[in-house]
């Protein structure tokens, strides 16, 4: 049996208010450094401006997100990549814990939709994307995971668990 390996990188769509947050951080940093720091030559304002600059860096990293899906032989791993520089493991999931995988609008999900569940959204946020749902048993009970697999990943999952993966 050959190893099934599929890797997908999905960029999170920026929300309209992301630009507003970035603009406010830039404005606040420049205002504190230039206007208050240089006009009054107070060390407190220069330190505050430097702290705002560092905070801006971390906020910008958090607003530039990508999700990496890695599927290898029945195991799905999702990582969050922030600002193309740092990576954080979101979830490792085996198909043994999965109850069902189906498209977001599938009729197969009707039994699960009635339940109150924790939701993990690792999709791009684009309404036109083919978003799939994984219902799995986690530490906190049944959980709903949103992601955007491609056909190769879905086919690999279907080969490992044919009764759990639906395409319509």
3-state secondary structure the chain: CCCCEEEEEEECCCCHHHHHHHHHHHHHHHHHHHHHHHHHCCHHHHHHHHHHHHHHHHHHHHHCEEEEEEEECCEEEEEEEECCCEEEEEEEEEHHHEEEEEECCCHHHHHHHCCCCEEEECCCCCCCCCCEEEEEEECCEEEEEEECCCHHHHHHHHHHCCCCECCC
What share of the chain in percent tops pLDDT 70? 94
pLDDT, residue 147, reads 93
Q: Is the pLDDT of residue 1 over 50?
A: no
Higher pLDDT, 160 or 39: 160
Residues 63-120: pLDDT tens digits?
A: 888 999 999 988 999 999 988 888 999 999 999 999 999 998 888 888 887 788 888 9
Higher pLDDT, 41 or 110: 110
pTM (two decimals): 0.79
């Amino acid at each position: 049996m050959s190893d099934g390996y599929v890797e997908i990188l999905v960029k999170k769509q920026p929300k309209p208010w992301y630009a507003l947050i970035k603009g406010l951080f830039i404005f606040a940093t420049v205002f504190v450094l230039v206007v208050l720091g240089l006009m009054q030559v107070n060390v407190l304002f220069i330190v505050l401006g430097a702290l705002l600059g560092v905070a801006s860096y971390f906020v910008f990293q958090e607003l530039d997100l990508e999700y990496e899906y890695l599927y290898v032989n029945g195991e799905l791993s999702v990582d969050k990549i922030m600002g193309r520089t740092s990576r954080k493991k979101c979830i490792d999931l085996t198909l043994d814990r999965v109850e069902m995988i189906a498209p977001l609008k599938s009729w197969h999900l009707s039994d699960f939709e009635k339940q109150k569940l924790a939701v993990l959204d690792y999709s791009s946020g684009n309404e036109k994307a083919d978003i799939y749902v994984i219902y799995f048993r986690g530490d906190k009970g049944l959980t709903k995971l949103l992601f955007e697999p491609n056909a190769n990943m879905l086919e690999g999952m279907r080969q490992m668990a044919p009764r759990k993966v639906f395409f319509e």
